[in-house]
Structure 1
Amino acid sequence: MAKRKRDNKQEPETNPAVALLPQKKHYRQRAHANPFSDHSLDYPPSPIDIDWATHYPAYANTGKLPEFADVGCGFGGLLIALAPLFPDTLMLGMEIRVQVSQYVQDRIAALRVTAATAEPTAPAAAAHYQNISVVRANAMKFLPNYFAKHSLTSLFFLFPDPHFKSRKHKARIISPTLLAEYAYALRPGGIVYTITDVKDLHEWMKSHLEDFPLFEYVDEETLRAEGKGPIIDAVYTSTEEGRKVERNKGDKWLACFKRIEVQRQ
């Protein structure tokens, strides 16, 4: 009788926590979306019409509102990185692509379940993720529908669509018109974080922010000295695009601006 060949392959270890996490291959989507298209979005008439308890049930009845907003949050890397670092700060990601926003929503739900079933000795990160959420929204059109005046302390624009062609520059997420809305939502002292691997876009965003009277450039060293080093590190490394640039040994261009209070005469 022929000997049965021994199978040295081991069964993959089943990790319930890992099994819960969604897989990107099931959420195929174009890299970018046209912000001027009709995306059939449902949006609140104003921030006071939002039931934030559905987004942050663990913080219901606390009166807390989102203070960090990640515009074009992609697959949620920044939110996931910052959640355990700022457990008492609510954060909202805004993503226009339906499949990508659904992925982030499913990812957050899975992480919350994982945290709820974690061992008491689990890392601190496992105890959080209740403070992050995502909405499918077009921030270029509806950002004031989500954030009241001076409600944000941090506003992130990480690796946005470059819109290389001149005729498409009007679709860039940083523009004089939109900066007025960002200044409205950001409280004095709040920070706008921008980063890109496209130097032309970096110069575009930086020049428009410098020209706007309610924003003032602040260098990376100053922000780190003010204790914002963990945020800067996450801006550089937490997103899928940021990691892709690193793999390709590309450059990353960071520009940060502080919302200032203009003194009335």
Structure 2
Amino acid sequence: MAKRKRATQQAENKGKEAAVGLLPQKKHYRQRAHANPFSDHSLDYPSSPRDIDWAAHYPAYANTGKLPEFADVGCGFGGLLITLAPLFPDTLMLGMEIRVQVSQYVQDRIAALRVAAATADPSSTELSPSAHYQNISIVRANAMKFLPNFFAKHSLSALFFLFPDPHFKSRKHKARIISPTLLAEYAYVLRPGGIVYTITDVKDLHDWMRSHLEDFPLFEYVDEATLRAEGKGPIIDAVYTSTEEGKKVERNHGEKWLACFRRIEVPRE
């Protein structure tokens, strides 16, 4: 057992060393911090979830019939996906990012991590597909317009909105990712019992998101302690610390406000 563990650790170390030379550098993917979700971004999107070739996104799971269960909306540079990938080996995860250069960076980052892991030990049977980052992918998409085009009804178990654009000006509030209209779509794609995770370093935005979620009849607030007791501690930790924005807040000694909501089941009459 100890020998097997050492072999696995050596393979992981080789993968990390290989990744150093393969990972893309952000300086080559310069992009504005935010994008206007109401602009025409010349996006290609499927007419329905049935039209998506998920095997192209998750080739190692092509014959399993698995579909994405976690969706990171506005995934930025992909920190959450990469942190959660080995923690949930049986879960497919999809990042959605509207900015072209940022989404390309994440795509290249995932590809590099997959190659690095395979290069470290291509014949290893100890590493699951998730250890090769095969269970994460990204699409360039405008979630405010096309979320149901990617996810079928009740197909997701987790939705993440981590450090979204605060749109400080009142006239820009309609562009916030949490709104009554959009919450109906989130409730549609999220299965009963699924969790919406939100976090921000802007108190006004936190209050906005929490109040809208509390007012929506298909979501109920669930506190952090309850989620940790349910075994979702690793997810909460990743929500706090895995993203570029979260790390920046920590460096600046800022505060973070977390609010999580459970999709409730509607009793049939």
Question: Secondary structure in 2 aligned to 1:104?
Answer: helix
Of 181, 202, 210 in structure 1, the residue corresponding to residue 185 of structure 2 is 181
TM-score (norm 1): 0.92
Residue in structure 1 matched with residue 238 of structure 2 by the alignment: 234
Partners of 1:198 and 1:104 in 2: how far apart?
25
Residue in structure 2 matched with residue 196 of structure 1 by the alignment: 200
Given that 1:192 and 1:258 are in contact with CA atoms closer than 8 Å, whether structure 2 keeps it comes out as yes
Number of aligned residues: 251
Answering whether residue 153 of structure 2 is matched by residue 143 of structure 1, we say no
Partners of 1:169 and 1:235 in 2: how far apart?
24
Given that 2:118 and 2:132 are in contact with CA atoms closer than 8 Å, whether structure 1 keeps it comes out as no
The share of aligned pairs that are identical, in percent, is 88
Partners of 1:132 and 1:45 in 2: how far apart?
22
Computing the radius of gyration over CA atoms, which structure comes out larger, 1 or 2?
1
Residue in structure 2 matched with residue 249 of structure 1 by the alignment: 253
Answering whether residue 90 of structure 2 is matched by residue 88 of structure 1, we say yes
Answering whether residue 210 of structure 2 is matched by residue 206 of structure 1, we say yes
Residue in structure 1 matched with residue 47 of structure 2 by the alignment: 45
Amino acid of the structure 1 residue aligned with 2:118: A
Partners of 2:38 and 2:49 in 1: how far apart?
22
Partners of 1:163 and 1:126 in 2: how far apart?
36
Given that 2:18 and 2:119 are in contact with CA atoms closer than 8 Å, whether structure 1 keeps it comes out as no
Residue in structure 2 matched with residue 225 of structure 1 by the alignment: 229
Offset at 1:226? Answer: 0.1
Amino acid of the structure 2 residue aligned with 1:158: L
Given that 2:23 and 2:108 are in contact with CA atoms closer than 8 Å, whether structure 1 keeps it comes out as yes
Offset at 1:121? Answer: 11
Unpaired segments ≥5 residues, structure 1: 1-14
Residue in structure 2 matched with residue 3 of structure 1 by the alignment: none
Partners of 1:20 and 1:126 in 2: how far apart?
18
Partners of 1:116 and 1:101 in 2: how far apart?
23
Given that 2:69 and 2:157 are in contact with CA atoms closer than 8 Å, whether structure 1 keeps it comes out as yes
Higher mean Cα deviation, 191-200 or 113-122? Answer: 113-122
Of 55, 58, 76 in structure 1, the residue corresponding to residue 57 of structure 2 is 55
Offset at 1:96? Answer: 0.0
C-alpha distance 262-237 of structure 1, shift in aligned 2 (>3 A)? same
Unpaired segments ≥5 residues, structure 2: 1-16
Partners of 1:122 and 1:164 in 2: how far apart?
49
Offset at 1:264? Answer: 3.0
Deviations, residues 243-263 of structure 1 (Å, cap 9, x unaligned): 000000000000000000111
Given that 1:118 and 1:126 are in contact with CA atoms closer than 8 Å, whether structure 2 keeps it comes out as no
Given that 1:114 and 1:126 are in contact with CA atoms closer than 8 Å, whether structure 2 keeps it comes out as no
C-alpha distance 50-136 of structure 1, shift in aligned 2 (>3 A)? same
Residue in structure 1 matched with residue 20 of structure 2 by the alignment: 18
TM-score (norm 2): 0.91
Question: Secondary structure in 2 aligned to 1:103?
Answer: helix
Deviations, residues 72-100 of structure 1 (Å, cap 9, x unaligned): 00000000000000011000000000000
